[in-house]
Structure 1
């Protein structure tokens, strides 16, 4: 079985990156795919959002060589989760001085067998941990709000991906941009989307993730929005995105 490793990245915080990782993963799972979510962010928002709050071991233990990735996986509502922790800050500092520091995660993920998708929730920065994710991944997914400042950040992401592709991972490609927190009533949202469609050569998914209160509520219950309220706009939008992702 070929595992598709996807790095979900945006160097800004609060851009729907964790929300997209969880809910796209959940939607893919409900479409019959076996999915592993990897919490690479020291803030551990993904782990918290799925109620993985006191794991016996985390991804930091795997980086340190104390555990294998298979020993730290936790199953939640049909998804497998490798929890993060604040200790990833120390891991990042220690990686800076290591030879081939960008390849640690690649070696770790080689131990994870039998998954159709591994989705990596990256830190909100273009850091050594993010570099590890991009080196390990085949595809990059970029969640993007329709705000003016996100356009500047998009250029940074694309430049970083191209540098990683050239230096470490020739197979890396941008799968596409997913529009998140979309409000069709806002003129600015429509203007930024139109600008992207006219000026960015990368794929922009047709399935847009609309503003939806259920998406904000779901983490409080430790669930994806599909498990929290399957009839909500959020659940329907991520289901549509998952189907489109599989077709792309």
Structure 2
């Protein structure tokens, strides 16, 4: 099976992007897939959430060419790996602006690793040069989305960017789907926005919804995915269901 590269994007912060990258990735690994998570966000929340607080090398070293990607990887178990991020990615992004073919750096970096079923990229919460690198490298885009009033505005911006990248840089790029996160069925607004989305956009909306769950918020404090921290929680069950639907 060839490696599938998935960019998890949302230009708004606090939308469950990092949570989804970690826990979907871990769920896929629990289902027998070999998974690599790439922390492309200079805030490196993904790395911190998996207890990678002081890595010897980071993704910035791969961008600058001082280390190969396989040299920076942190192995969590036999099927679950992480390419850690760092604040140095801010400097990387600044330097990329003046580089020729600056959107291809991550694609070339990821081409050097083999043997993974899925590579999931946690993108910065902005439509930046780093995010452009992620979209150019990816086969698919996954969009975590809260059911809030401003959802459609943000979603339209993301889809416009994806279409521009597809037409100019990466013709293979596809939207894998939209994941409803932080879902609260008690709120009428949640169901109203979800219905509006289904009626007005062509992209797939996953049936598996990620419910609001205290355990999901607790897990990063213990440096674990929700599937390792509390496998019986709603959060763990929701991400496992999403992973199964994702594989279909």
Give TM class, smaller chain.
Answer: over 0.9
Pairwise CA distance, 1:76: 1.6
Cross-structure match for 2:124: 123
Partner of 1:214: 215
Where in structure 2 are there 5+ consecutive unaligned residues? none
Following superposition, the deviation at residue 148 of structure 1 comes to: 1.0
Counterpart position of 1:71: 71
Structure 1-normalised TM-score?
0.99
The DSSP-based 3-state class of the residue aligned with 1:164 is helix
TM-score of the aligned structures, taking structure 2 as reference length: 0.99
Instruction: Please state whether the residue corresponding to 1:204 is helix, strand or coil.
Output: coil
Counterpart for residue 204 of structure 2: 203
CA distance in 1, matches of 2:151, 2:17: 13
Structure 2: distance between partners of 1:237 and 1:76: 22
2:10 alignment partner in structure 1:
10
Show structure 1 runs of 4+ deviating over 3 A: none
1:150 Cα deviation after fit: 1.7
Q: What RMSD, in angstroms, separates the aligned Cα atoms of the two structures?
A: 0.6
Matches within 5 A, 1:145-184: 145-184=146-185
Structure 1 unmatched runs, 5+: none
Q: Write the deviation string for residues 121-146 of structure 1: whole angstroms up to 9, x where unpaired.
A: 00000000000000000000000000
* Alpha-carbon distance in structure 2 between the residues aligned to 1:111 and 1:219: 30
Q: Could you tell me which residue of structure 2 aligns to residue 143 of structure 1?
A: 144
Hey, what's the Cα distance between the residues in 1 that align with 2:3 and 2:189? 38
Deviation at 1:233, TM superposition (A): 0.3
Q: Post-superposition shift, 1:151? A: 1.1
- The answer to whether the aligner puts 1:228 opposite 2:229 as a matched pair is yes
Match of 1:241 in 2: 242
Paired position in structure 2 for 1:98: 99
What displacement does 1:79 show?
1.4
